[in-house]
Amino acid sequence: MQVRIKKLQGIIKGLNLDCLLLTELSQVRYLCGYTGSNGVLVVFAHEAHFITDFRYKAQVGKEVKGAKIMIAQRDLYTELPKIKPLNAKNLRVGYLEAYMAVKNLNMLKALLPAALFAPTTFIVESLASIKDNDEVKNIQKAVDIADVAFARILQIIKPGISESEVAAELEYQMKMLGSEDPSFETIIASGYRSALPHGRASYKVIKKGDFVTLDFGAIYAGYHSDITRTVVVGKASAQQKKIYNLVLKAQVAGTRKAKAGLKGSAVDKHVRDIIAKAGYGKNFGHGLGHGIGLLIHEEPRLSPLSDTVLQPNMVVTVEPGVYIDGWGGVRIEDDVVITRNGCRVMNKADKSLLEL
């Protein structure tokens, strides 16, 4: 944790800031280890201060590293003037524009009237996008949990069961395997609903002949996994096989293409061109993938608009899909670790067309 704060301190100096105020809890956790629900971290060039409330007094003593701890008597922001360096005249205070409400910014300006506030973007994200070995191990554990849970629930997917029942069993299995929580609201979309990229589990009953798309993930030590598999209940039709095999071909091509040195847009284009050449370009409307870590959606992005150059130890999803309104759709998704010469697929769950 202290290494991460030191890296951030170097960035702060380079941006001509005196300190950076952090309120987004996943970033606070990344930098100092705090896992509670209320906290503010202030990082200066040579020191850091962390503020929380009485509920976490015992917890922060064990968790927080690399920062001086303050326990707030009232609202956390009202404690900021007690940090002596924050009262310097014309102090250049950076804040995370994407996470700072106007109301809170006005409060800060009132509490620290001598300071100069400067909006910042993608500072911590740029650090957090490149995982260390321990982070990769935690994500791998979350991936393994999701893989095993998927194998366990295949036997219950049959005509007559509802999407919500499948989701409940899937989340139960992940919990029993060590997941802290689902990574996000589990997506189970069957039949015509499988054409919905984010078709969260409904009370729709699964029928024979349905595609069933399952998009889910586990959390281990705060780190997320994100996997999608699509299966068929019963025998697949010729059209289902055609669409499935196209998506599988594109997804495998994406995992083979992704490597350090390429822009996210280049990987996206490689996969998108395969789907477009087959005549289904308009049916693939979302980006190819996204980073995962302490958040389910992080930098970098694999999309037509991404200029981010992939680097070793970035962890991203590769998840092309084809969605046909009123008929159904297929998405296949793996989590991968970017390496210098390619990428390592973290998932081991079967990607062949499963006819249940």
Query: Pick from 128, 163, 192: which residue ends a domain?
Result: 128
- Cα–chain-centroid distance for residue 352? 25
Residue 74 structural domain? 2-128
CATH of residue 189: 3.90.230.10
Tell whether 8 and 104 lie within a shared domain: yes
CATH of residue 35: 3.40.350.10
Per-residue H/E/C for the chain: CHHHHHHHHHHHHHCCCCEEEECCHHHHHHHHCCCCCCCEEEEECCCEEEEEEHHHHHHHHHHCCCCEEEEECCCCHHHHHHCHHHHCCCCEEEEEHHHCCHHHHHHHHHHCCCCEEEEECCHHHHHHCCCCHHHHHHHHHHHHHHHHHHHHHHHHCCCCCEHHHHHHHHHHHHHHCCCCCECCCCEEEEHHHHHCCCCECCCCECCCCCEEEEEECEEECCEECCEEEEEECCCCCHHHHHHHHHHHHHHHHHHHHCCCCCEHHHHHHHHHHHHHHCCCHHHCCCCCEEECCCCCCEEEEECCCCCCECCCCCEEEECCEEEECCCEEEECEEEEEECCCCEEECCCCCCCCCEC
Mean pLDDT of the residues in the chain: 96
Quickly state the pLDDT bin for 74 (edges 50, 70, 90).
Answer: confident
Query: Pick from 128, 155, 183: which residue ends a domain?
Result: 128
Assigned domain for 310 exists: yes
Rounded CA gap, 20 and 287, in Å?
31
pTM over 0.75: yes
pLDDT tens track for 268-327: 999 999 999 999 999 999 999 999 999 999 999 999 999 999 999 999 999 999 999 999
Tell whether 164 and 239 lie within a shared domain: yes
Tell whether 50 and 146 lie within a shared domain: no
- Mean pLDDT calculated for residue range 255-273: 98
Closest CA to 222 of 70, 29, 12, 17: 29
pLDDT tens track for 129-183: 999 999 999 999 999 999 999 999 999 999 999 999 999 999 999 999 999 999 9
Q: State how many domains the chain has.
A: 2
Assigned domain for 40 exists: yes
Assigned domain for 356 exists: no
Query: Pick from 71, 105, 128: which residue ends a domain?
Result: 128
pLDDT tens track for 7-40: 999 999 999 999 999 999 999 999 999 999 999 9
Q: What is the pLDDT of residue 145?
A: 98
- Mean pLDDT calculated for residue range 71-94: 93
Closest CA to 163 of 200, 217, 208: 200
Assigned domain for 352 exists: no
Assigned domain for 321 exists: yes
> The sheet that has 315-318: what strands, in order across it?
298-302, 289-291, 315-318, 334-338, 343-345
Rounded CA gap, 18 and 154, in Å?
55
Q: What is the pLDDT of residue 169?
A: 98
